[in-house]
A = this chain, B = another copy of it.
């Protein structure tokens, strides 16, 4: 891990992953071919990229039940408990419709409606992430979305991973398609013979999935463009260096581009963590990935005090933030930019990745400056309600017409004036 002792955070400027032009071109081509070719194009791309000759695109109920039966009991139990926790947390996020009489004859309000349909992308290939199913789909279900669709690429055996199907089965998702990559995003956005299009697509994926989501953005909604993820730990010398090192590595094992960052006011503590990282790395199954992440992206940032540490955090805007200090809430006060915040030394990041309830689909790559974790808000929309009585229109019509006319929009002024008594000017 690289030490930074002079407050120079220039490394943040290099965080952005520039999409290569050739990747953008291939994605545009995939999108167009799925638009015109439908299911046939989906199957051709699945053969080409996943090496699988799909017979059916949709997963059957029998396949789901069989998959669930193959998942070990304790894991199924953990999935069930996690699903309960995630549902309970997201139920606290449901916004309410309201209307209010704000003035004589003036009623204003907001009507909250769930989206009609949503597609959840679950990464696949070599990995199996039932947690992504829970985190992507449960907030949509809690929001009241009627049609929640799952897509995930088939594994080498030609099926979506058991754990993914088991998690979907557990929470009552029945519409699942075994396609992945940019072609799955195209199908969700534009529809094919088998897959009806949806209003919004969420969930993380690889570079091609990300570029495909940017491509369809504006035709449908998307959650965000996921990039390399971060964990930042703010720790003082009261923290346990072995625990902190393990948490840094839990992020590092995700991806070579993941960035594990320790921000501390204690240089000796930083050195202990550094040694622990090196020690624990050697015993990790995913050592190759984790060590590249730790060595190339990892940072230990030394600050004069913990308030300065919070300033550093606000510039990093990390996806995950652990506050492993004596008084974590004192540091929390100064934190503005972070996706998920873990308070105190027992709140290890994986607690949130799987289990606690808050979402693990969190803004990455510094976008916690302006974005929120996935949640019920991601799956509802608000309509404004405006109701003026005759009386209210008479009282305010002149001001409205004057404003409209000043903007050169005579038609707007007249629409109001037509309703005004004794002032029917333009008929």
A residues within 8 Å of B by Cβ? 16, 71-72, 74-75, 77-79, 81-82, 88-89, 92-93, 98, 100, 102, 106-108, 110-111, 113, 115-116, 127-131, 163, 199-200, 214, 217-221, 225, 242-243, 246-247, 249-250, 252-254, 280, 283-286, 290, 328, 332, 335-359, 362-363, 367-373, 375, 377, 381-390, 392-393, 396, 399-404, 406-416, 418-419, 426-427
Task: Report chain B residues within 8 Å CB of A221.
Answer: 367, 370-371
Task: Report chain B residues within 8 Å CB of A396.
Answer: 81, 351, 355
CB pair B82–A92 under 8 Å, yes or no, is no
CB distance from A110 to the nearest CB of B (A): 8
CB distance from A26 to the nearest CB of B (A): 17
**Contact for A418 among B77, B127, B242, B335, CB less than 8 A:** B242
Task: Report chain B residues within 8 Å CB of A385.
Answer: 332, 340-341, 343, 358
CB pair A392–B341 under 8 Å, yes or no, is no
CB pair B408–A127 under 8 Å, yes or no, is yes
CB pair B354–A404 under 8 Å, yes or no, is yes
CB pair B344–A387 under 8 Å, yes or no, is yes
CB distance from A68 to the nearest CB of B (A): 13
Task: Report chain B residues within 8 Å CB of A78.
Answer: 399-400, 402-403, 406
Bound complex: CA of A371 vs CA of B383, how far in Å? 9
CB pair A403–B250 under 8 Å, yes or no, is no
Return the 8 tightest CB-CB contacts between A and B, nearest first. A358-B384, A246-B415, A343-B387, A221-B370, A350-B412, A253-B411, A78-B399, A372-B382
**Contact for A341 among B219, B328, B386, B393, CB less than 8 A:** B386
CB pair A199–B370 under 8 Å, yes or no, is yes
**Contact for A371 among B71, B243, B381, CB less than 8 A:** B381
Bound complex: CA of A108 vs CA of B343, how far in Å? 10
Name which of A111, A217, A246, A283 has the most chain B CB atoms within 10 A of its CB.
A246
Name which of A98, A221, A225 has the most chain B CB atoms within 10 A of its CB.
A221
CB pair A419–B253 under 8 Å, yes or no, is no
CB pair A399–B131 under 8 Å, yes or no, is no
CB distance from A363 to the nearest CB of B (A): 8
CB pair A351–B400 under 8 Å, yes or no, is yes
Bound complex: CA of A410 vs CA of B347, how far in Å? 18
Given contacts A111-B341, A357-B102, A386-B347, contact A403 B370 (CB under 8 A): no
**Contact for A356 among B77, B108, B286, CB less than 8 A:** B108
Bound complex: CA of A202 vs CA of B22, how far in Å? 30
Task: Report chain B residues within 8 Å CB of A116.
Answer: 336-337, 369
Name which of A328, A369, A415 has the most chain B CB atoms within 10 A of its CB.
A415
Given contacts A92-B100, A344-B387, A418-B242, contact A127 B407 (CB under 8 A): yes
**Contact for A390 among B106, B340, B346, B412, CB less than 8 A:** B346
**Contact for A348 among B92, B419, B427, CB less than 8 A:** B419
Bound complex: CA of A82 vs CA of B403, how far in Å? 9
Task: Report chain B residues within 8 Å CB of A89.
Answer: 102, 108
Bound complex: CA of A367 vs CA of B219, how far in Å? 8
CB pair A346–B393 under 8 Å, yes or no, is yes
Given contacts A349-B415, A369-B116, A382-B373, contact A387 B131 (CB under 8 A): no
Closest to A375 in B: B382
What are 29 A-B interface contacts by the 8 Å CB criterion? A78-B402, A78-B406, A81-B399, A82-B403, A110-B358, A111-B335, A115-B369, A116-B336, A127-B408, A131-B403, A214-B218, A217-B225, A246-B415, A250-B409, A250-B412, A285-B408, A286-B409, A341-B384, A342-B386, A343-B386, A346-B419, A348-B416, A349-B415, A350-B412, A350-B415, A351-B416, A355-B399, A368-B381, A372-B383
